[in-house]
Amino acid sequence: MILYLVKRLAVLVVSTAVAGVVVFAFMALLPGDPAEIALGVNATPEALEELRRQFGTDRPAAAQFADWFGGLAQGDFGTSYVTSSPIGPQVADRLGVTVTLVLGGMVIALLIAVPLGVFAAVHHRDPLGVAISAASQVGIAIPAFLAGILLVFVFAVQAQALPSGGYVPFTESPGEWLRGLLLPWLSLGLVQGAVLTRYVRSAVLDVMREDYLRTARAKGRGRMGALWRHGLRNASVPVVTVLGLQLATLLIGAVVVERVFVIPGLGDLLLNGVAGRDLLLVQGVVMVLVVAVLLINFVVDVAYAALDPRLRGAR
């Protein structure tokens, strides 16, 4: 297991370095000069040259990348081209909000998907099981931002039970913090819960057809008892794969949901950077999102090995 972890860590480090090169190259290819954006179209050539020197954009691309990526390794994201303020503290402040949003959405998705998916599999021939499958199929077709708008209309506009947007830090008011995040969590969790329900149902159905589960039933265990004792761990292996993918999807979906609910997370920071053409800020936020996806994949690989030791050698 230790050797497996070392190999996966090595893959994570190499993947992060490659992702850094790709992100830097993509941002370098975008049109626009940060100095011209900061000073405006009426700036003199001397002022532009001086600002390029301050930004470091007059140096070779390899030197710029080395400074930027080396700074990232030390937690230094550089200084914003537009506001001249350090980017690192801005990312750190917003990262906690986005992580809270994504984890809350995933918890709601799991609370929906696991019981409903198992029930739909066990009762796949019953009308209620079929209804759950149909409802999950409809849920897959609804994007998170549309779910958010519908939830705002029902719970904020009509019922006036929850706020339609805004964010209150937990340290200021835990109750208002919770009320402000309920609708964003639900808009992410309901959609992802529908996706996961389909996969949980499929995985449990596959396990229920296995010989070892029929043997457990023949020895006197009930259907749910045999599934709980012998089937759920095996059924969880493919579900973990989808769970990792859906976490990455939630992370990207949070960018839009934060905009809908006016939540100051990484997505809001990213879109503000794009609107202000703050390329270094956008570059740093994109890199944080990429590293988060790579870390999710790493955790999924480790979970594979923990759930099924046979995968350690195969992978």
| pLDDT per residue as tens digits for the range 204-254 | 888 777 766 677 667 666 666 666 666 676 777 777 778 877 888 888 888
Percent of the chain past pLDDT 70, that is, above it, reads 90
**pLDDT score for 228:** 67
Mean pLDDT over all residues of the chain? Answer: 84
The DSSP line for 97-116 is HHHHHHHHHHHHHHHHHHHH
Q: How far apart are the first and last CA of the chain?
A: 12
Query: What's the Cα-to-Cα distance from 227 to each of 20, 32, 212, 224, rounded to whole Å?
Result: 44, 59, 10, 5
What is the band of 315 on the pLDDT scale with cuts at 50, 70, 90? very low
DSSP state at residue 76: -
Query: What's the Cα-to-Cα distance from 182 to each of 13, 103, 166, 174, 213, rounded to whole Å?
Result: 36, 12, 12, 12, 39
Q: Which CATH number fits domain 92-275: 1.10.3720.10, 2.40.50.140, 3.30.420.40, 3.90.226.10?
A: 1.10.3720.10
| pLDDT per residue as tens digits for the range 51-105 | 888 888 888 889 989 999 998 888 888 888 888 889 999 999 899 999 999 999 9
Name the phi and psi angles at 219, rounded to 5: -85, 0
Q: For the whole model, what pTM was predicted?
A: 0.81
Mean pLDDT of the region 22-29 = 88
Q: Is the pLDDT of residue 125 over 80?
A: yes
Asked if residue 226 lies in contact with residue 216, where contact means CB atoms within 8 angstroms, the answer is: yes
Separation of alpha carbons 315 and 310, rounded Å: 9
Mean pLDDT of the region 128-148 = 87
Q: Is the pLDDT of residue 183 over 90?
A: yes
| pLDDT per residue as tens digits for the range 159-169 | 888 898 888 99
| pLDDT per residue as tens digits for the range 272-300 | 888 878 888 999 999 998 998 898 888 87
DSSP H helices in the chain: 2-29, 34-39, 45-55, 61-73, 87-122, 127-140, 144-151, 174-208, 211-218, 223-226, 232-260, 266-275, 279-307, 310-314
Domains of the chain by residue range: 2-77, 92-275
- Token pair for residue 251? 């992370």
